[in-house]
Amino acid sequence: MIRVTVKESADRISSFEMSGHADFAEHGQDLVCAGASAVSFGAVNAIMELTGIEPDIQQGDSGLLKVAFPDNLDTKIDEQVQLLVRAMIVSLKTIEQDYGQYIKITFTA
């Protein structure tokens, strides 16, 4: 199962972590894994390209992706980052709606 944990406090998402594999289908055929990966990497790339910020990114085995956004961003830039990361979450929730046994999104403070 893909587990996505979003850290949010005071209406601001400060980080997210994605780990695991959907195991929906065999490697290379797994639509859930491919969709979640495309959405998350696309969002991170868009944030970097469109806002010019460099989030702290860690990648590892078992599909691990950790992304933390800087705290001290200009208000306008932070609003853009928040919009893009929230759009990512909407897309991941859409995947979760149809494939909830393969992907789970949780929110922490």
Whether the Cβ atoms of residue 92 and residue 3 lie closer than 8 Å to each other: no
Maximal C-alpha separation, the chain: 44
- Of 5, 7, 8, 21, which residue is the catalytic one? 21
Using DSSP, state whether 41 is helix, strand or coil: helix
Active site residue 27: no
Spatial CA neighbour of 83 closest among 69, 104, 66: 69
Active site residue 21: yes
- Of 18, 22, 33, 43, which residue is the catalytic one? 33
> In 19-109, where does DSSP find H-type helix?
31-51, 75-99
Residues marked active site are found at 21, 33
